[in-house]
Chain A
Amino acid sequence: MDNPYIAFFKISIKDSSAYFKDYLTYTIGRILTYMLMIFVWNIVYIGGHLSEIGSFSLMQIDAYFVIGGAIFLIIDSKNDKILSDDIKTGNIAKSLIKPVNYVYMVFLESLADNVLVLPPVFITIIFALYYLGISTSILSIITFIIIVLIGYAIINVIQFIIGSLSIYTTSAFGMSILLANVAFILGGAIMPLTFFPSYMSNIVLLLPFQMFIYVPTSILIGIIPSSAYLYYILFGLFWLLMLSVLGYFLWGHVKKKISSAGG
């Protein structure tokens, strides 16, 4: 018999891929929407006769947005929605009495969506590196993968915390939107974080959001030197640990507050 978690993961992948055209249009739409930023920045560089802004050349900024657009597809999780819906509908009471760990199930269901987008992510990144002539090292690629995994884990934990908070706020919708926008800006999706005014970038570079897009992309295109790789890995792990501890205690508290229709 299959391990229940593996079986659940397989079902979640089948469920997520049931409407393939939905998945395809979502993926293409999301990449295209993000890549529109390339036009904006090209105008800023060309219109302003600038060869470099914040140590980014025009070619690097193009690579930044193409690769960032691909990572943007992975750095996403629906933990908040799953948890919030379960709390709102009361399904969580049913799920908690099952002989499996509910938290793992939430993470696996969300992971299924992310696994499906991996092929276009790889293709886009390889295309960007090859087409834009960005030279990178094996060490940079390995560090890039580690940082993306840490970033992915961080967004999952943050969204799990937000989903858990819906026991107090009824719906996690508003907070999810807030998080999405904060992560979008402070993660470096609109512009590299070094473009921010220095008083802002000094603060932003202390937050975990930079692990989503800015740090992995900058590592791959050579903006962050290899001497700083270890610092960013430890920095990401530190935030992951802090957020996980917070999520752990919050979840313990939430479980005590849940009451089903049966009391």
Chain B
Amino acid sequence: MEFIENIKYFMLCQKYHWKEFFTYRLQGLIWIIAGWNYYQLLLLANTSGFIIGFVWYFIIAWNIVDGMRAGELDKYLIRPFGKITCILSGYSGNLTGVAGPIGSLLLIIYSLVNLKLQLLSIVMFIFSMLIGIAAIVMLFLFITVLAYLFMNSAQFTNSMLNISFSANSYPLAIYGIGIQLIFTLILPIGFAVYYPIQALLGVINPIFAIISVFGLFIIIAVSKLGFDKAIRGYSSGGG
């Protein structure tokens, strides 16, 4: 039985990433996409996978929306902690949920070793990745509550997460300016994935890495404000 459990965990680890790993390996043999080589693409896809993987872990939209539909969210909200802490602790995933980010982390390390980058740049990159997780989790928590209020739907959040992950697994430049702006200003995953990696690889001036971190703090602040306002629209089972 332990063997089967191990296989299941292995497959979960690969949940988001082995498909990309394989594809880039194939593509990397033949083409360089938009000037990005195989290891750079692998780093990009797995940074996206690492951050989105944590969002999947913390924001299980079905659970949050089911809780709101059933009017049972108040059982968490009356606890003597902040609303966000209560929701994240009450509705986040279990141990298997972190398997995705772990799979990504291994491939990030593999890519970084092969790219042979400066240690200082890597430290900056890790710092921005951690803030990126906080910002994108906060953003999707806001989107989940908003989607419930306007659409009574959890699928909206899941679809947005899927699109974000897929789109940010490739350099945003390939999509043209319109889509690049969407992932920079409207669904700003670019601040957590694309721009920090470009700075890490030396494609853009390192000052943009600092601007990206600043952008992430703005996302946290705006999402927090939006969440506080949106959660007031929730009424419990008791009215």
Question: What is A's interface to B at a CB cutoff of 8 Å?
Answer: 19, 21-23, 25-26, 28-30, 32-33, 36, 39-40, 42-44, 47-48, 168-171, 173-175, 177-178, 181, 184-185, 190-191, 195-197
If A21-B156, A43-B33, A185-B19 touch, whether A175 touches B11 (CB-CB below 8 Å) is: yes
One of A22, A42, A43, A177 near B155 (C-beta < 8 A)? A22
The majority secondary structure among interface residues of chain B is helix
Chain B, interface size category, equals: 35 or more
B239 to chain A, nearest CB (A): 23
- Asked if B18 lies at the interface with its beta carbon under 8 angstroms from chain A, I say yes
Known: A175-B11, A185-B19, A185-B22. A33 touches B166 (CB 8 A): yes
Complex: A250 Cα to B183 Cα, angstroms: 47
Complex-state Cα separation, A21 to B22, whole angstroms: 34
Q: What CA separation (Å) do A25 and B65 show in the bound complex?
A: 15
Cβ-closest chain A residue relative to B174: A43
Segment at the A interface, from B23-31, B51-59, B84-92, B198-206: B23-31
A29, closest chain B residue (CB) = B159
A169 touches B34 (CB 8 A): no
Give A26 to B61 CA distance when docked, in angstroms: 13
- Inside 8 A of A184's CB, which chain B residues have their CB? 19
B155 pairs with A40, CB closer than 8 A: no
> Quick one: which of B12, B29, B33, B156 contacts A40, CB cutoff 8 A?
B33
B167 within 8 A of A: yes
Contact A19 to B153, CB < 8 A, known contacts A47-B34, A48-B31, A173-B8: yes
Residue of B nearest to A26 (CB): B155
Whether the pair A33, B174 counts as a contact (CB closer than 8 A) is no
A132–B67 Cα distance when bound, in Å, is 45
Query: Known contacts A22-B154, A30-B159, A32-B163; is A178 also within 8 Å of B170 by CB?
Result: no
Query: In the complex, which residue of chain A has the Cβ closest to the Cβ of B11?
Result: A174
Q: What are the residues of chain A within 8 A of B159 when measuring CB–CB?
A: 25-26, 28-30, 33
> Does B184 have its Cβ within 8 Å of any Cβ on chain A?
no
| Shortest distance from the beta carbon of B91 to any chain A beta carbon, whole Å | 18
A192 to nearest B CB, angstroms? 12
Whether B156 lies near A25 (C-beta < 8 A) is: yes
Identify which of A30, A42, A177 contacts B15 (C-beta below 8 A). Answer: A177
A197→B158 contact, CB < 8 A: no
Q: B22 contacts which chain A residues (CB < 8 A)?
A: 185
